[in-house]
Amino acid sequence: MRVLADTSVLVAAMVESHPAHDRAFPWLLRAKQGKLDLLVATHTLAETYAVLSTLPVQPRISPDTARRLIRDDIESVGTIVELRRGDYRRVLDNMSALGLSGGVVYDALAAFAAEKSKVDKLLTLNARDFRRAWPQGTDVITEP
């Protein structure tokens, strides 16, 4: 099974104190065990770093630790889906056509990476936003 995970799931899977950790962690564990193919959009790496390194948890996650978590738990396990200049243009055109603005563009980028990669599931804790950004992907969008 090919699964693209968004930032919300990756952060929840890596941070034990996260309220959705018990739902998200099994997906990351299955990827580490080779039981599913984990895919992650390029921008999701940066977004995950930003969230991890500013998350209000104790102890704080340092920039070094955030980088190590991404390297060890995502990059070493998953396939990174790169988006090209034309892909970004297509996403922006689609956002405009749907009348969407603001931060949902980041969900739209992950959704485009999922569509481009022909995944079986796009895993997110924000299914509503993803359905707005990728209405034709409702059968693929899944919450853990």
Each residue's pLDDT expressed in tens, for the chain with a length of 144 residues: 999 999 999 999 999 999 999 999 999 999 999 999 999 999 999 999 999 999 999 999 999 999 999 999 999 999 999 999 999 999 999 999 999 999 999 999 999 999 999 999 999 999 999 999 999 999 999 999
Q: Supply the DSSP symbol for 120.
A: S
2-129 in CATH: which number? 3.40.50.1010
Tell the burial category of 93 from Cβ atoms under 10 Å away from its Cβ (0-12, 13-18, 19+). Answer: exposed
* pTM of the predicted protein model: 0.94
Written as one letter, the residue type at 29 is L
Distance CA(14)–CA(7), nearest Å, equals 11
